[in-house]
Structure formats: C-alpha cells, structure tokens
Structure 1
Amino acid sequence: MVIRSLVVGVATALLAGCVTVGPDYAAPQTAPVTLQQAGAVDYVADHPVATWWSQFDDPVLDQLVREALLANHDVRIAVSRVNEARAVFSERRLDLAPHVTMGVEGTRTKQPVEGQQGRVETDSYSAGFDAAWELDLFGRVRRNAEAAHADLQAQRNDLQAMQVTVAAEVARNYFELRGTQKRLDVARRILQTLGETQRLTESRFDLGAGSQLEVQSSLARVRAVEAEVPLLEAVEGQSRHRLAVLVGQRPGELDSLLAPREAPAFAKALPIGDTTELLRQRPDVRAAERRLAAATARVGVATADLFPRVSLRGFIGFLSGGWGNLVNGDNRAWQVTPSISWAAFDMGSVRARLRASEAQADGVAAQYEQAVLGALEETENALLSYAKQQAQLKLRLEQSVAARRAAELAEVRYRAGSSDFLTLLDAQRTQLAADDALAQAEAGVNVGVVAIYKSLGGWGEQDVAPALAALP
C-alpha cells in the first residue's frame, strides 16, 4: 500500500511537470565599447585577417606561429582541458536518463534455520539488468548539466585565449630577436668605423700630429663598444631558445632558421576592425562570462538540495537456486524500488552550502567585471603605445640620418686637421646611440602591432585556429 502510494505520488509529480529551482542565468549587459585611441590616423576600421601575423610578410614568422599553434605545450594542455570538460558534460547530460547495468551474481550461504538442527546451505543466483534513475523533479540534474556545459564553453574559450597568447608571444619574441640582431649589426659596423679611427689616431701620433690622449680615448671607445657585444649576443641566444620552446622544440634546434634577417617596421595603417565588439572578440572575457553562467547554475544545484530527491531503482532478469536452470522462463523476476531522500533534519548544512555557492557566484561576477576592465585597459594602452611608437620611430629615423651625416663630417674635418679628435669621438658616439635607438624603435613598432592584436583577441569569435579545429 505504501509503495503504491509512493508510485502514484511520483507519477503525479511527473504529470504535473518538473520544476527547475534556482536563478535562471542572464548574461551581463555591457554597453558598446568606445576606444578613445581607435580614431587615430594609424588605424583603419577594416577587419584584419585571422592570421594577423601574415601582414608582416615574413615567412619565418608564419612558420613559427603555425608550428607553435600545433605543438606548443600550453596549447596542448588547454586542448586536454577541453576534452576533459567535454567528457564531464557528457556524463552530466547522461545523468538525465536511467543508468542501466548488467550483472550476474551467485551466493551460497550456510546458516541455522529455526526448527531444524545444524545449519542449512542455500544457493541463490541472479542474472539480469539493474537500473537507477533520479527523477529530476526540481532540476538538480539539469542544473548540473547546465553548469558542465558552461564549463565546457569556458574551456574552449580558454583554449582560444591560449592560442592568442602563444601566437602573440612567438611574434613578440621574434621581433625582439630581430631587434637584438640589428643592434648587434649596428655595434659591429660601428666597431669597424671605430677601428679605422683607432688606426688613424695611431698613425697621427706616430707622425707627431696627434697625442697619446687621442689614442687612448679612441681605444677606450672601441673597448666600450666591444664590451656591449657579448651582452647582446646573450640576449640574442636567449630569444632563440625561448622561440624554440614556444614551438615545442628544444633550445638550439631553431638556430639555423633564426639566422639574422631584416624585419622592417610595420609601415602602413593598421586594420583593427570594429572595436565596439571588443568584449565579444576577447576569448578571456567570453570565458569569464561562461564561468559566471556555470557558477549561477551551481546555485541552482545547491537550491535543489532543499527539496526531496526521488529515485527509482529496478531489476529485471532471472532468479534461481541453481546455475543449471537460471535462464528459464519460470525464473523470470522483476523489482521496482521507489525511494525519497530529503535532508529535512540537516537543513542548516544545506543552506550553508547554498550560501557558499551564492558567494562563489558573486566572486565570479566580480572576476567577469575585472576581465572587462582589464580588456579595455589593455587595448587602450596598446593603441596608445603603438601610436606613440610610430611617432618615436619617425624621430629616431631623422636622428639616425642626422647623426650619421654629423659623424661623416666630423671625420672629414678631423682628417683635414680643422677639428679636434674629441669632436669626432663624440659624433661617433652619437651615431652609435642613434642607430641603436633606431633598431630598438623599429622592433618596438612591430611589438606594438603584436600587442594590439593580442588585446583585440587575436581574431574574431568566428575564426578558429588549427588546434581548436582539430578537436573531435
């Protein structure tokens, strides 16, 4: 009678329809982004290609980024996390349906029986299917599946964010390497000039037209520049090693590929697309929003624990006292066991867990808002820096041309005896500083381009990079 009443009650609840308790998630509404720096003449509203690094027309850079997106270990870790989240979501979704298992069991017991002397042996064998199903009357299972789905989407966005980061890191290190190599070339060319000046001062001293001060000053300058070369070589080697690791190889394996070559500064208007869609383009912001959705769904899971859980367990198969005739029509059996569990006398713990989940959701909401502000700050800073780097590059180029001309004139005047050696030495020092600063400015402009595309999210949401496309 009790079982019949329970079954009727469950059936009535099912007919009345299930209720999903807890808050229904609504994505935060954010105003369209207006970037103060996006209207500068250095930028155009054309949408950049997904492979933004190809705009540099550098085949070595293209190869490095392509290999990194496929072989970088951080990307591989992110891919594994997507696969893990997908498996968890599949499991949570299957919880909505009954879980059916098959089993065969045999039991032999020996025990006393009332009214009989000694102990009696009995055998019991069963074979069949067991089923268990939680009737999701209050949405606990559905909220769990909802949270797992949001977690999966967050991990997919994390993967895309990692791809953006890796591509940007490869490009940044690549241009820093090229800048260091150019600085090394500048130092070695200046050393040739200083060497000629050193020989000239020694010749003038031998002829009695110069002084020991000029000889020693020239030698000191040569040694000063020579001392800078090993440090630049160390930085160059470190950049090569970093690039090798970024593409999933051991340090030193890319040395031949990374031999010095020209990497001119980006010298055309930069396409940055529709910046009002910045927050939708940023995978880290999308991931933060999906985590907020997951946290909200888990509030629903905790809320559902305030209500009873209704489950059904069942068995269908065969029961017999011997193996020989187990699978026999006369031994067919079935069993249905409805059950209700409710933490009616432990509501304090349930409500504490609910408050904890609500606090976690509040924290995740703050993380989302922080991600939005961080994205805006990073993008504004990148746009501002790039515009100023372009202005600096123009001035550095003019400085380098003027310094080189001044050094040439100072050498002519020194050879003609109409100018002293210190004037020549100062002009050569100025030329070295100007050429070195120009090399750094050119690399800085290219690094600035990389920073902008990284801040814009690398590519739009509709563009999928190789590792993400390769996911099953």
Structure 2
Amino acid sequence: MNDRVQRALARNPDIDAAAAALHQAQESVAAQHATYFPSAQLNYTPSRQRDAVGTLSPTLTSNATYYTLHTAQLNISYAPDVFGLNRRTVESLQAQADNQRYQLEAARLSLASNVVNAAITEASLRAQIDATEEVITEETRALDILHKQAKLGYASGLDVAAQESALAQAKQALPGLLKQLEQNRDLLAVLCGDTPDHADATPFDLENLVLPATLPQGVPAHLVQQRPDVRAAEENVHAASAQVGVALANRLPQFTLSGAYGGSATSFNRMFADDNVFWVLAGSVSQTVFDFGALKHKQRAAEAALQQSAAEYRSVVFGAFQNVADALYAIDSDARALSAATDAEHAAAHTLELTRKQQQLGYVNVLVLINAQESYQQARITRIQAQAARLSDTAALIQALGGGWQAAEASGRGQVSG
C-alpha cells in the first residue's frame, strides 16, 4: 500500500496541477517583490528625417535637409512605497501562494486517503467474493443432494424449489461484487497515474491490513489547525486583509521618481560627445481628488471580501470539527460492530465444527452440515464488511486530522488499545 501511495503522489496529474499552481503563485510573489527596487530601461532610436525647409528652419546647425538621427538613453524610474501599496500587494500575493501550498498538501492528503480507501475496498471485495463463492459451492452441493433425495422420495419439490431460490440469490450477489472489484481496480490505477489496462495486478489481502497500535477516543481541538484546508482558508483571510490595505493605499498620494541620461547625434559614434548629451531628473506626486467614489467603493468591496473570507474560514473550521467528531463516533461504533461480528463468526464456526462432528457420527444429515457452513460464510462476510468499515473510518480520521493524531499521542491523552 505504501508503494501505491508513493506512486500516486509521484504520478497523479491532480498533484502535478496543484504543484504548477503553487509555482505560478510563487513566481507572482517574486515578480511583485521586484517593484521594491528601481527599474531601468535602455533605449536606442535611429531615424531618417527630412526638414520642411520651405516652412521651418533646418533642425541641424549644418542646415542639412536630409539627415539620420541617433538617440540613445537610459531611463530609470522608482516608486517609493510611502503608504504600503506595494508591501500589502506582496503580502496578499504571498498569502495566495501559501494558500496554494496548503491546497497542494490537501490534494496530497486526499489522494493518499483515496488510494488507501481503494485498497481497503479491494481487499474487502476479494474477501467477500471468496466467501460468496464458497456459499455458492455449498448451496450447489445442497441442491444436488436434495435432487437425489427427491428422486428417492425423501425430499419434496417445495424443498428443492426453496434450495434453488437460495442458490439463485447467492449467485445473484456475485456479479455485483465482481463488477465493483473491477471498477475499484480501475479507480486505483487512475489514482496511481496509470490507465486501467496497466493496473498493478498485485492484490490486497484484508488480513494483511492492520490498524494502528492505538486509536484515540478523543483528540485536542487544536489539532484541526494542522488540516491543510483550514490553513488554506486562513491564508484566504490573510490575502483579503492585505487587499483592504491595497485599496486604502490606492486612495492616498502616489509618488514617482524618474531620471534619464542619453545622447543624440547625426553620427552614431558622436552621440555622447560634446554638447550632444542630455539628462533629466523628475519627481511627481498624484492624488485622485474626484472619481465619483470609485476608490471608496473598491475599498468597501475589499472589506466585504474580507468579511466573506472570515465567514468561510469559520465554516471550514466548523466542518473540520464535524469531520473529526463523525470519524471518532464511527470508529467507536465500528469497534463494537466488529466485536459483535467477530463473536458471531466464532459462534458460527463453533456451530459448524460441532455439526461436522455430529454428521460424521450420523446424528445429522448432510443438509444440516451445509446449512451450518452457509451460516458461517454469511457471518464471515458480515465480519469482513465490519473490518473494512473500521479500516476505512480510521483512514478517514487520519484525513480529518490533517495527517494523524501525533499531537494527542505526545500529550498522552485519549489513547485506547486498537
């Protein structure tokens, strides 16, 4: 199972998509970080020109009508982050990147849980198929015996018809189990990044799947903080809070510093000679004084988005508490159900053993033995289903806690033998 989980994490396209989304968000943060520093552009502009000498004086001191002008310049601009516009923008983008990181963790956790559940389902279906096939074998033997007894007058046609009905019902259950098994194997193959025709043929055996040594009866509430969906929702609140700061900074004055240095000449190698050099230093400040309330309403929209993300965060946390509580209740219920099913299986096995001995001594006929065998197989199927349910709900608890209850083990609280 560990190999299947690792293979899925390495090859599943959903994980690749989540990883690419994280990379994109990280690059956006890096790009926005660059605005903390000045930007420089180098420009070279050659042009061929003719002056309108019939109307205007020649541009050049040489009075040439036709000329080629070469101009090269370096432009530098810088916008000081006086009111935190860039800082809050970077903060928002970083929160979005962190959100994507937790989304990737959530995708990995969900994928691992799906692979584990698919493996448990496969093991359960295989065990149920084996038990059902044994039931069909026993039902077929019983029907053959009844046919022979009916010919000899020891059984009625009603007995034969009842047994035929029982055999038909047993056979009816088998195709459905086989279909579920094949569909589950297809699911497991796709989760591992393969097509169904390249599915791993290695089967899972239910008896080889064991529970952790200890299972919690309760866990500290703070454990939900490690859930990636809770952390992702928290980063959404962080990003929305930063966007409020961005909207507020946009309503305040914006400052810009710029400078240029260059040269212009009719000869390329004389652009920076003598008096052909030019430069400029400039500063500007701009403040929106009237925009019909556009910036004010954008700020209010950002504040409403913050309230929305905060409410969504609370909803995610409540859902996390519900998931954990449901999983804990399910595990407790599964333990009782598995215990009862195991007791029933043991009782049916003991009954089968006694019936087999009685049949060997001639106290009961073969039909009684076959009925005891059928009862044992049915009890076995019930135990298999209960065992698989407990395994699946344990995996669900691990997923609900965002990966496990290690913090609870460290505190020594709420442990019970598995």
Same fold? TM cut 0.5: yes
Q: Which residue of 2 aligns with 1:131?
A: 76
Q: Judge conservation of contact 1:279–1:286 (CA < 8 Å) in 2.
A: no
The equivalent position to 1:441 in structure 2, one of 386, 403, 412, is 386
Q: Which residue of 2 aligns with 1:152?
A: 97
The equivalent position to 2:18 in structure 1, one of 78, 81, 88, is 78
Q: Could you state the TM-score of these two structures normalised by the residue count of structure 1? A: 0.77
Question: Whole-Å Cα distance in 2 between the matches of residues 95 and 363 of structure 1?
Answer: 29
- 1:107 maps to a residue whose letter is S
Deviation string, structure 1 residues 327-379 (Cα, Å, up to 9, x no partner)? 54654332223222222111500001111111001100111111111111101
- 1:458 maps to a residue whose letter is G
Deviation string, structure 1 residues 37-69 (Cα, Å, up to 9, x no partner)? xxxxxxxxxxxxxxxxxxxxxxxx010111111
- CA 1:329 to 1:206, structure 2 compared with 1: closer, same or farther past 3 Å? farther
Q: 1:88 and 2:28 equivalent?
A: yes
Q: Judge conservation of contact 2:189–2:195 (CA < 8 Å) in 1.
A: yes
Q: Judge conservation of contact 1:313–1:338 (CA < 8 Å) in 2.
A: yes
Q: Which residue of 2 aligns with 1:302?
A: 247
- SS of the residue corresponding to residue 112 of structure 1 reads coil
The equivalent position to 2:297 in structure 1, one of 339, 352, 370, is 352
Q: Judge conservation of contact 1:125–1:319 (CA < 8 Å) in 2.
A: yes
Q: Say which is worse superposed, 194-203 or 441-450, in terms of deviation.
A: 194-203
Question: Whole-Å Cα distance in 2 between the matches of residues 118 and 325 of structure 1?
Answer: 20
Q: Which residue of 2 aligns with 1:231?
A: 176
- SS of the residue corresponding to residue 135 of structure 1 reads coil
- 1:64 maps to a residue whose letter is R
Q: Judge conservation of contact 1:178–1:263 (CA < 8 Å) in 2.
A: no
Q: Which residue of 2 aligns with 1:143?
A: 88
Q: Judge conservation of contact 1:143–1:298 (CA < 8 Å) in 2.
A: yes
Q: 1:67 and 2:19 equivalent?
A: no
- CA 1:328 to 1:239, structure 2 compared with 1: closer, same or farther past 3 Å? farther
Deviation at 1:256, TM superposition (A): 1.2
Aligned residues: 402
Deviation at 1:431, TM superposition (A): 3.9
Question: Whole-Å Cα distance in 2 between the matches of residues 226 and 320 of structure 1?
Answer: 97
Question: Whole-Å Cα distance in 2 between the matches of residues 373 and 83 of structure 1?
Answer: 30
Q: 1:181 and 2:121 equivalent?
A: no
- CA 1:178 to 1:212, structure 2 compared with 1: closer, same or farther past 3 Å? same
Deviation string, structure 1 residues 84-142 (Cα, Å, up to 9, x no partner)? 11000001111111112222222334453685489955543222322222121111111
Q: Which residue of 1 aligns with 2:146?
A: 201
Deviation string, structure 1 residues 255-311 (Cα, Å, up to 9, x no partner)? 412365644452742269963431331111111111111110110000011112111
Q: 1:277 and 2:222 equivalent?
A: yes
Deviation at 1:433, TM superposition (A): 3.5
Deviation at 1:457, TM superposition (A): 0.4
Q: 1:98 and 2:98 equivalent?
A: no
- 2:189 maps to a residue whose letter is A
Deviation at 1:241, TM superposition (A): 0.7
Q: Judge conservation of contact 2:331–2:390 (CA < 8 Å) in 1.
A: yes
Question: Whole-Å Cα distance in 2 between the matches of residues 411 and 202 of structure 1?
Answer: 22
- 2:229 maps to a residue whose letter is D
Deviation at 1:159, TM superposition (A): 1.0
For residues 73-472 of structure 1, the aligned pairs below 5 Å read 73-110=13-50, 112=52, 115-116=55-56, 120-121=65-66, 123-258=68-203, 262-266=207-211, 268-270=213-215, 275-328=220-273, 331-346=276-291, 348-406=293-351, 430-458=375-403
Identity of paired residues, percent? Answer: 26
Q: Judge conservation of contact 2:217–2:332 (CA < 8 Å) in 1.
A: no
Question: Whole-Å Cα distance in 1 between the matches of residues 146 and 352 of structure 2?
Answer: 16
Question: Whole-Å Cα distance in 2 between the matches of residues 459 and 151 of structure 1?
Answer: 26
Q: Which residue of 2 aligns with 1:22?
A: none
- 1:218 maps to a residue whose letter is Q
- CA 1:435 to 1:256, structure 2 compared with 1: closer, same or farther past 3 Å? same
Higher RCO (C-alpha 8 Å, min separation 6): 1
- CA 1:113 to 1:285, structure 2 compared with 1: closer, same or farther past 3 Å? farther
Q: Could you state the TM-score of these two structures normalised by the residue count of structure 2? A: 0.87
Q: Say which is worse superposed, 231-240 or 314-323, in terms of deviation.
A: 314-323
